[in-house]
């Protein structure tokens, strides 16, 4: 629950320069607790990659990943466009230093992509499917 006390805890990271945000539990559809540093950036990247670009008026034109348009495309074209789209989406986060080491695999009709995301707080792997 968001109370003045939890709001103060959330804003505490602003004084230290650390990125702090609310924790999204996507499986349960709940918001609770906070994340900071690398985990906060990981969540921001994950949320951006799972949001269809231009699919929601609440987000700007550059937020999200345009993956639906790749359905039915050949593997090489879809891989190339997915890489470009992932780089653009991930780089929106100011804490991201670099994106690289892309790997692609096809399983049936699905295309999966993973990449290494380097941030001011450490590295992590991001994955998306199209």
Which class for 113: exposed (0-12), middle (13-18), buried (19 or more C-beta within 10 A)?
buried
Question: What percentage of the chain carries pLDDT values higher than 90?
Answer: 55
The pLDDT confidence band at residue 42, using thresholds 50, 70 and 90, is very high
Q: In this predicted structure, what is the pLDDT of residue 16? A: 52
Are 119 and 95 spatial neighbours (Cβ–Cβ below 8 Å)?
Answer: yes
pLDDT of residue 59 exceeding 90, the answer is: no
- Token pair 């997915």: residue: 82
Which class for 47: exposed (0-12), middle (13-18), buried (19 or more C-beta within 10 A)?
middle
Q: In this predicted structure, what is the pLDDT of residue 109? A: 84
pLDDT in tens, 4-28: 444 444 444 444 566 889 999 988 8
Give the global pTM. 0.78
3 state SS for 56-112: CCCCCCCCCECCHHHCCCCHHHHHHHHHHHHHHHHCCCCCEEEEEEEEEEEECCEEE
The pLDDT confidence band at residue 34, using thresholds 50, 70 and 90, is very high
Q: What is the mean pLDDT of residues 90-115?
A: 93
Domains present along the chain, CATH in parentheses: 41-129 (3.10.450.40)
Q: In this predicted structure, what is the pLDDT of residue 10? A: 43
């Amino acid at each position: 629950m968001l109370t003045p006390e939890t709001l103060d805890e959330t804003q505490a990271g602003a004084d230290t320069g650390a990125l702090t945000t609310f924790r999204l539990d996507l499986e349960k559809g709940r918001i609770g607790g906070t994340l900071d540093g690398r985990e906060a950036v990981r969540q921001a990247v994950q949320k951006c990659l799972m949001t269809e670009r231009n699919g929601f008026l609440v987000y700007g034109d550059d937020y999200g990943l345009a993956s639906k348009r790749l359905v039915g495309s050949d593997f090489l074209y879809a891989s190339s466009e997915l890489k470009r789209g992932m780089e653009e989406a991930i780089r929106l986060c100011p804490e991201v230093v670099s994106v690289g080491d892309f790997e692609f695999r096809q399983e049936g009709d699905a295309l999966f992509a993973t990449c290494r995301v380097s941030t001011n707080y450490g590295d992590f792997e991001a994955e998306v499917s199209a």
